[in-house]
Structure 1
Amino acid sequence: MDAAGSAYPVEWEADVVLRDGSTMHVRPIRPDDADALQRFHTGQSERSTYFRFFAPIARLTDRELRRLVEVDHTGRVALVAVRPGRADDGTERDDILGVARFDTIADGEAEVAFNIADSLQGKGLASVLLEHVAAAARERGLRRFTAEVLPQNGAMLGVFRDAGYEISQHLDDGVVSVGIDLDPTERSRAVMADREHRAEARSMDGLLSARRVLLVGAGPDASTPEGLLARRVLDAAAADPGDTELVALDVPGDVPAGVRLAVGWDDVGEVELALLAVRPETAVDVVRRVALAGARGVVVLSGGYAESGPEGLERRRDVVRTAHAAGLRVVGPVSFGLLTTTGGAGLRASLALHAPAPGVVGLFCQSAAAAVTLTATLRRRGLGVSSLVSAGHRADVSGNDLMQYWLDDDGTRVVCLYLESIGNPRKFSRIARRLSAVKPVVVATAGRSGHVVPPGHAVRATHAPRRLLDELLRQSGVIQADNTHQLMDVAQVLAHQPLPAGNRVGILASSSALAVLVAEAAASEGLVVAASSDYLQPHAHEDDIARAVDALYAPGACDAVVAVDVPVVQPRTGAVARAVAQAAARTGRTTVVSMLGLHGMPDELTAPAPDGSLVHVPAFSTPEDAVVALGKVAEHARSRAEDRGHYVAPDGIDTRRARRLVEDWLAADGAHELSEDDGAALLDCYGIRLWPARLVRTADEAVAAADEVGWPVALKSSSPALRHRTDLGGVRLDITGPEDLRDDVARLCAVARDVVGETDPAFEVQAMAPKGVACVVRSAEDPLFGPMVSFGLAGDAVDLLDDVAHGIPPLTDVDVAAMVSTVRAAPRLYGYGGAPPVDVDALEDVLARVSVMADDLPELAAFELYPVVVGADGASVLHASGRLRLAGRRADALRRALPG
């Protein structure tokens, strides 16, 4: 508790990246920050102080300090951006470099103010603090900020104007009054994502552009795990130093030529990156020391952290907190390191004895073991990379950071990710969607569900369906590979061949049997076999080979070529390989081959293009591998050319009223089961009408309810076991008169007694909706994935077959349409078996509105609309159920934050 008696909101603490790539810690202010706030205030220029207080206040009084540092974290909130400093006596302290605060002035409205250190103005700190204080305000039920700004303070006015929120401003008595609507907009989300991208990309550039690297060991003993790691780095520096200047400190044995041995911390000098092969209990102190040496990041090679238990997890958190507070990023623990192949600036900060060849593939993986395998595979295939990063247990730097960097890196044309866990799936989806629109992203996951977490990875538990990870990757626009072998297969096509213009594939095979098998494999991958396909007789003459190849590569003959040459008796001559390579280079036609004895990027399949550049045709071990890789590339080309749509923003939504309802319902005990009336009220906030139903227990009550809602009516058991079960007699439809209704009440009473043992059953009476197809729309809040929505048609067969589509909001209109159309039972919506088609647009509108509701309300633990009857003209929502509970902070909240 703080001095004001309110709980300190730990969840508001976060490490952030600024525009220059450095890091800082944001947290709520505390009463013991009074001295730090006074130092901050007296260190500001007279101009900055005047802009903040509209008066030249040289020093804050004790009363003013108490008012500023003692807040209740509810109606009055203040966040500070801090970095560690030292007092004159050498003790550590927090130095405040920025303050953002708001004071509630009316229902749903607060006055906001900022003060940023002169040295950090223009570096994006005010924008970061606005995101964080706005998120805190929304959590406190506020929906609007007001601010008074002097006209001369153009920088602060620019922060408000450029944030992407809806704002208003007017000049009154020499002061600009600004109003800021805190409800997120598509523009505010885009602004946040763009600023996040620039900051995180800059942060990664600081790591990957390092030239002067410090290796810190654990002492002279080469037999310890840390000693072995340090020796491996030194051996790697001797074998392949790249363009890295390596300084070694406290390492075992002699250092190779070209490596400078420092005789103590005072002898280290300035460095840009540090490799840590140290015992975990000393890591925090080492991080502090390398920060003083100017490092922008640390790569933790050694283990002993989260994989060793709770104590190790806390050590890991201490390392990350210390690094972020000092402005550093952390790669690891248990990292294989970093490599780049940029000419003249090749970084070698890893355990790899030899770097892969230069190339255009950016490769990210996690465990060191995976990095060893992938590095060996790259060398064996002759596939080059632009950079390779192993994040180890991913305590800080993750694949999300690298995707931000590769988006702007001209040397990277293909991105490959091997993920053993995903710590922030929503952020991954958001960044991958943006990146995959301009560069292919290929992803292989160690687990296909996200439910298995390797030792050492600190990941939130998930209760999501096992298929949701596949849906996440599809929604992100990435190419999903089944394993690392396939990851490399797809990468070598993308790295060296153009994207095909379509899915027509021409096949050239060394036998008719092979041609048939390849054609079958192509069809299973969604490719269409072109009429120009052909096969060659054994020992075909070069003239025959040339004619077949020319026909295959003729203009318009096909979009891509698969060439297979596997002679049975005599050795392969190479004539087919030469002809195919030359034709591929000449025409620019996408080509893959499977030829006996060739694998990867062999010289035999290299030929000059008309502009003089060399074109490499990838070779695969089997025809099936070649076809699968080509099929995935062709599907990516098709989806990349399609419109990705816009995030859904249905009209008639009242988010503020929905939030007030949720807060009122949860005020009593932090959990709430939604009644029928509650569900109707919540749906009304999102423009969805719930058909009214009346709860009855007797026949007389049922008849009165039918007179009220209007005949004909439906009678339904209120028991969850019978509510939708027409097969068990729990539903009666099209009841047109009182006598029939009385008879049906008697029958449902007997069903309730015999089937579920109810002695005093209750029923619902509801007006009959237009006939149509019954569907189910659900949402849930998952600790890892955040909001999830699902769609399916109603019925036992659909449930048993798990014929359900999933999505993770925010969704685009294209995402929503795909969810509806891709379930296997979807033909029933479009006129299957002669039935009239239904109003799919109305169904998509309901699904879109539920997705927005799920995105808005993390307290909505589970929600179900069942049934949603879609008719020829509109969709009728006949029943809603759900439950609320107090929500924790989502992993990808509307604020920029690093893993903590």
Structure 2
Amino acid sequence: MQPVDRFQPLFNPRSIAVVGASRHSNKLGHVLAANILGSGYKGKLFPVNPKAEEILGHKAYPSPAELPEAPDLGIVVLPRDQVIEALEALGESEVGAVLVITAGFRETGRQGFDLETKMAEIAARKRFLLLGPNSLGLINTGMGLNASIALEPPARGNIGFFSQSGALCAAILDWALGENIGFSKFVSLGNKAGLSEADALEAMGDDPDTTVIIGYLESVENGREFMRVAQKVTEKKPVIMIKAGTTQAGARATSSHTGAVAGSIEASKAAFTQAGIIQVHDVESLFDLARAFSCQPLPKGPNLTVVTNSGGPGILAADACEAAGLQLATPATATVEALREALPPYASLYNPIDIIGDAKADRYRTTLEAVAKDPLTDAIMVLLTPTASAEIMETAQAVIDISGETDKPVFACFMGDERIGPGRDLLLDAGIPCYAYPEPAVRALTAMVAHHRWQHRPWPVEVCFRRDKGKGDKLIHEARRIHLSELSQPQAFEVAMAYELPVPETTMARTSDQAVRAAKKIGYPVALKIVSPHIEGRRALEGVALNLEDPRQVRAAFADITARVMRRRPGTYISGCLVQAMGPKKAREVVIKLRQDPQFGPLIGFCMAGPSAEILNDIAWRLAPLTLQDAQEIIREIKSFPLLRGVRGEPPVDFGAIEDILLTVSQMAVDFPEIREAELNPILLSENGALVTDLRLTVG
């Protein structure tokens, strides 16, 4: 039995009602109805207009209530103040889905937001799908449906596209027509009062006509649901996305444009990484990658062989490969022998294979045949510069022929413009990605290698540590009960111990006498740290004393610390000092951060301690809950990772110990969404373990 397709009324409607259809060609209601009819739609069309008897040869109806049957899809092209009434009427007719073209809702302010909220409530109550408002429409080339206000539909293809920006949709449609790029589905999400990016992903993920999905996002309505769907879809198909608002200025513009809360830049990047989404930063890269994924098989490894008639472009390709983490394949002995027999004696037989500037199409063909059979080659890049001897069309045909005979991806880079234009067009028409320079070709191939690795990655290992959740719950809820926004240091350490985080022996001392007794019990040397609900950066205020060796030093440090803080922060309440066992010498200091993102939930960061991490933005982020693979990746992602691995004879740190702490913090974040922020700083990391020496917990 076939599963029910909940998106059928939207993408494959058997009947469409256009509410607001018009007889006047300059009105959107007329454009939309004309586009539906002009695209070859075979279903029924019901124009709705109380002032018309007939529109575009079809009988018009005064209202949705008087339609002869319940339409699968209702399209609303009315002034804003009439939209709610139209939705109610369509809901009463038991419509399957409604597309709202009308703009002027959430993006305009409070009144528009209230109307949009009411639209969503009607859709939920009447149980129909809602796309929009403020949508350009949708296109399904497979059934000849152009239910949009775009002037010209795209060619049929296997790329699914969705966008939150209608204007960008229009621009991309026009650009794609010029580049001869085809789409399977094309969806303008608009304000996402109903269907969201997660729904678009789900629909295209299950669509047999779509092999690669691309999209433009400004905000994410439900980060957790988006990640769940994306992880499922990327198991089957590549998903390539532009996420706007990746700078502070862009985030402000996003909020202004859509009225949506923009989540953090770090959270969206982490979400894309953990969901297997390929993120790009410009429209050109979006389509460079989409073209490659849509027409070439995935490489089974990172080994690329470059064939060129010019040394310079070959060197550029080699540089781009190394920068991207790809490898230039070492040709097998049999391949080298075959090339030695076929190529001139002055040709370079090793990768990049330089067949010299006088190469004609037959030399390209012979070389490509040998390379395609090479067992150490996973992908092939063909570079051509328009030398006097170059046979551009014949070489393009040779590339096409070899591509059809191998299961390895083949990329072309025909450099130039006027002379190589016809050859480039021939390659593109045959489904061979052709680029003007080596660098975009390498970027596309790198993305394909990464996606192959994603689809063949080990099954995620989820780890759950023992913890006294009840004790942690009691401490956090007690802090909230008395309206504390931040747990005291002793309370924070109690939570840490409840979760079995490795913390040094620590005692709270309210007087210098208590500090001396605590130091004696713990054992020298010890550290003293000021405790106050009003102080965050203790080191900045010199509220920390380390390596105290005897009672005299402890008493002096206690008096010195408390007096200094009182002098620098008059009126500050001081609870006392923490007395703490010293950690191992020569330990490397790292930091783990936790904060709540409004779209994606708990976000965990990892970096080296010190100002350099923030100044250089050398911090890696992942969303909780972390898997073991996430914990391993977040450590190795920072640029400072070699310091942890060991330099100048230093031993590597205990990576297992810091992975355990990351996973424990992840568990804590999942158990207690009340924790708004946390910072473990510093964590002392050595070859024999790790110690969390300081911990802040903010609740709300």
What amino acid does structure 1 have at the position aligned with 2:212?
Answer: V
Shift of 1:251: 8.3
The TM-score with structure 1 as length reference comes to 0.69
Alignment partner, residue 467 of structure 1:
266
Tell me, what secondary structure is at the counterpart of 1:835?
A: coil
Instruction: State the Cα deviation string for residues 609-659 of structure 1 (Å, max 9, x = none).
Output: xxxxxx621222433322222222222223332225133322x13444433
Provide the residue aligned with 2:138 in structure 1: 338
2:401 counterpart of 1:585: no
Distance 1:520 1:827, change over 3 A: closer
Aligned equivalents of 1:346, 1:218: Cα separation in 2: 20
Letter paired with 1:424: N
Aligned amino acid, residue 461 of structure 2? H
2:697 corresponds to which of 882, 893, 898 = 882
Return the alpha-carbon distance in structure 2 between the equivalents of residues 703 and 668 of structure 1: 31
What secondary structure does 2:679 align onto? Answer: strand
Cα pair 2:358 2:387 within 8 Å, conserved: no
In the TM superposition, residue 569 of structure 1 has moved relative to its aligned partner by 5.4
Residue matched to 1:506: 305
Taking the aligned partners of 1:654 and 1:750, their CA distance within structure 2 comes to 38
AA aligned to 2:356 is: Q
Kindly tell me: are residues 304 and 600 of structure 1, through their superposed partners in 2, closer, same or farther at Cα, counting changes over 3 Å?
farther
Alignment of 1:772-791 (within 5 A): 772-791=587-606
* Alpha-carbon distance in 2 for matches of 1:383, 1:864: 48
Q: Which one is further off, 635-644 or 839-848?
A: 635-644
* Aligned equivalents of 1:722, 1:217: Cα separation in 2: 61
Amino acid at match of 1:402: A
**1:293 and 2:89 are equivalent in the alignment:** no
Q: Corresponding residue for 2:258?
A: 457
Cα distance between partner residues in 1 of 2:610 and 2:244: 34
- What is the rounded CA distance, in whole Å, between the counterparts of 1:785 and 1:883 in structure 2? 18
TM-superposed deviation, 1:287: 1.1
Answer yes or no: is the 8 Å Cα contact 2:48–2:62 preserved in 1: yes
Taking the aligned partners of 2:132 and 2:422, their CA distance within structure 1 comes to 30
Instruction: Give the stretch that moved more between structures: 790-799 or 747-756.
Output: 747-756
Aligned position for 1:308: 108
Correspondence for 1:547 among 366, 374, 377: 366
Q: Does 1:527 align with 2:527?
A: no
After superposition, residues 594-609 of structure 1 pair within 5 angstroms as: 594-595=413-414, 596=416, 604-605=426-427
Tell me, in whole angstroms, the C-alpha distance in 2 between the residues paired with 1:286 and 1:456.
26
Alignment of 1:322-333 (within 5 A): 322-333=122-133
2:477 aligned residue: 663
* Paired position in structure 1 for 2:332: none
- Which residue number corresponds to residue 31 of structure 1? none
1:496 aligns with 2:328: no
Q: Given the alignment of the two structures, is residue 632 of structure 1 paired with residue 632 of structure 2, yes or no?
A: no
Report the Cα offset of residue 390 of structure 1.
Answer: 0.9
2:275 to 463, 470, 476: 476
Per-residue Cα deviation, 1:813-863 (whole angstroms, up to 9, x for no partner): 111111122112222322233222222112111111111211222211222
Measured in 2, the distance between the counterparts of 1:431 and 1:306 equals 26
Q: CA-to-partner distance for each residue in 1:19-54, whole Å, 9 max, x for gaps?
A: x9xxxxxxxxxxxxxxxxxxxxxxxxxxxxxxxxxx
SS in 1 for 2:209: coil
The structural deviation recorded for 1:260 is: 4.3
Distance 1:622 1:258, change over 3 A: farther
Residue among 650, 659, 662 paired with 1:835: 650
Q: Secondary structure at the match of 2:375?
A: coil
Secondary structure of the residue that 2:45 maps to in structure 1? strand
What pairs up with 1:711-730 in 2 under 5 angstroms?
Answer: 711-718=524-531, 720=535, 723-724=538-539, 730=543
Letter of the 1:853 partner, please give it: M
Structure 1 CA distance for aligned equivalents of residues 89 and 325 of structure 2: 57
| Matched-pair contact (CA < 8 Å) for 1:340–1:387 | yes
**Other structure's SS at 1:294 match:** coil
Whether 2:153 is the aligned partner of 1:350: answer: no
Q: Deviations over 1:345-381 (max 9, x none)?
A: 3433222344323322221112221211222233333
State the distance in 2 between where 1:443 and 1:252 align.
44
Shift of 1:594: 2.5
Q: Which residue of 1 aligns with 2:333?
A: none
Alignment correspondent of 1:111: none
Q: The residue matched to 2:251 in structure 1 has which SS?
A: coil
1:319 equivalent among 110, 115, 119: 119
Q: 1:709 to 1:528 in 2, by over 3 A?
A: same
Matched residue, 1:385? 183
Contact 2:136 2:169 in 1 (8 A): yes
Q: Pick from 751, 764, 767 the counterpart of residue 578 of structure 2.
A: 764
Return the offset for 1:491: 0.7
1:412 is displaced (CA, Å) by 1.9
Bigger Cα displacement from structure 2, 653-662 vs 801-810: 653-662
1:447 paired to 2:245: yes
Instruction: Report the CA distance between 1:336 and its aligned residue.
Output: 1.5
Give the structure 2 partner of residue 27 of structure 1: none
Task: Give the gaps of 5 or more residues in structure 1.
Answer: 1-19, 21-197, 608-614, 886-900
Counterpart secondary structure, 1:616: coil
Which of 206, 214, 219 in structure 1 is aligned with 2:17? 214
Give identity over the alignment, percent.
Answer: 27
Which residues of 2 match residues 724-739 of structure 1 at below 5 A? 724=539, 730-739=543-552
Match of 2:233 in 1: 435
CA distance in 1, matches of 2:656, 2:478: 34
Counterpart of 1:65 in structure 2 is none
2:45 is the alignment partner of 1:232: no
With normalisation by structure 2, the TM-score equals 0.87
What corresponds to 1:121 in structure 2?
none
Contact conserved, 2:34 with 2:56, CA < 8 A, in 1? no
Counterpart of 1:890 in structure 2 is none
Change over 3 Å in CA distance of 1:575–1:676 after alignment to 2:
same
> Number of aligned pairs?
668
Measured on the aligned residues, the alpha-carbon RMSD in Å equals 3.1
Q: Quick one: which of 615, 623, 642 aligns to 1:808?
A: 623
Is contact 2:159–2:294 with CA below 8 Å preserved after alignment?
A: yes
Structural mapping, 1:236-255, within 5 Å: 236-250=35-49
Instruction: Decide whether the 8 Å contact of 1:336 with 1:350 is kept in 2.
Output: yes
Residues in 1 aligned to 2:662 and 2:643: alpha-carbon distance in whole angstroms? 17
Q: Distance in 2 between matches of 1:754 and 1:575?
A: 83
d(CA) in 2 for partners of 1:600, 1:809:
51
2:187 aligned counterpart, secondary structure: strand
SS in 2 for 1:594: strand
Contact 1:420–1:446, Cα closer than 8 Å, also in 2: yes
3-state secondary structure, aligned to 1:490: helix
* Equivalent runs, 1:113-152 vs 2, <5 Å: none
Check conservation: 1:222, 1:252, Cα contact below 8 A: no
- Does structure 1 retain, via aligned residues, the 8 Å contact 2:358–2:390? no
Aligned residue for 1:673, secondary structure, equals: coil
Deviates more, 1:501-510 or 1:813-822: 501-510
Residue in structure 2 matching 1:566, options 379, 385, 390: 385
Deviations 1:61-85 (A, max 9, x none): xxxxxxxxxxxxxxxxxxxxxxxxx
What amino acid is the match of 1:504? N
2:339 corresponding residue in structure 1? none
Distance 1:810 1:334, change over 3 A: same
User: For 2:77 and 2:497, how far apart are their aligned partners in 1?
Assistant: 59
1:363 equivalent in alignment to 2:166: no
